[in-house]
Structure 1
Amino acid sequence: PPPQSTVLIMAVIAVLVLLGVVTIIGAVVFFVRKRRNSGGKGGKYAPAPGPT
């Protein structure tokens, strides 16, 4: 088995990556909800054409 320090470093890296991913996803969801609640359809960009 690898030495204890390697396992510890791997665990720290894994935790940091997970925290980063969760933070990014949370920020995206927050901004999407905030934009959707405040602006509505009056955005600066045209909405993507959906299947009609």
Structure 2
Amino acid sequence: MLVGVVGAGLLHPAPLEWLKSFGLTVAVLWAAVLGGAWVVTRWAESRTERIQG
């Protein structure tokens, strides 16, 4: 699958632009995953504090 993605990027008329947009997409996805994980962690901590307190 990764080979197909790289191949599509190389066949694209402007691989640099494609790589830039691909990198931006990955960065946004990572930010969403990390942000979501942080929110879930904070929520779980507040829940356990409420249960213990």
User: Normalising by structure 2, what TM-score?
Assistant: 0.68
The reply to whether residue 14 of structure 1 matches residue 35 of structure 2 is no
Which protein has greater RCO, CA pairs closer than 8 Å, 6+ apart? 2
Structure-2 separation of matches of 1:2 and 1:18: 25
Q: Deviations over 1:8-47 (max 9, x none)?
A: 001100000000000111000000001101223x6xxxxx
Greater than 4 Å deviation, 4+ residue runs: none
Corresponding position of 2:34: 23
Q: Which runs of 5+ in 2 are unaligned?
A: 1-11
Structure-2 separation of matches of 1:39 and 1:2: 56
**Greater helix share, structure number:** 2
| RMSD of aligned alpha carbons | 1.9
Count residues in correspondence. 42
User: Normalising by structure 1, what TM-score?
Assistant: 0.69
Q: Which runs of 5+ in 1 are unaligned?
A: 43-52
